[in-house]
Amino acid sequence: MSGSVQKPRTGDVLHLTRTASVQFLRPIFVRVIRVLDWPTYDGWLWIDAYELAANGDAVARRTLFVMPAGLIWPATPAPAARRPPTRTPVKRGPVRVG
């Protein structure tokens, strides 16, 4: 593998298209969990990643076989996962009977 090809790191958001692997007929965004140290062909690597929805939420954990030369680091990262809304208790007045 060439030394000039950037390898992904934990936390990187990547845009995966057919340039990374033919499996990405439909491009996806992922957030890298880790790069796996599995034996593979020269110029390829395995990554564990979360597939991201349009809003940045992780929707699936995937183990992917990709070519680092085809990875795209978006200039504008995918949106961060949204936080669950905080709930405020509702105050109730006295209950009227009759």
Let me know: does 15 contact 31? Beta carbons within 8 Å. no
Q: Pairing relation of β-strands 28-36 and 58-66?
A: unpaired
pLDDT attached to residue 84: 64
**Per residue in 21-62, pLDDT tens?**
999 999 999 999 999 999 888 889 999 999 999 999 999 999
Is the overall model pTM greater than 0.85, yes or no? no
Q: Is the pLDDT of residue 2 over 80?
A: no
CA–CA separation, 29 and 78 (whole Å): 7
Q: Dig out the tokens for 20 from the structure.
A: 């990374």
Let me know: does 37 contact 63? Beta carbons within 8 Å. no
**Per residue in 69-79, pLDDT tens?**
999 999 865 55
CA–CA separation, 57 and 67 (whole Å): 25
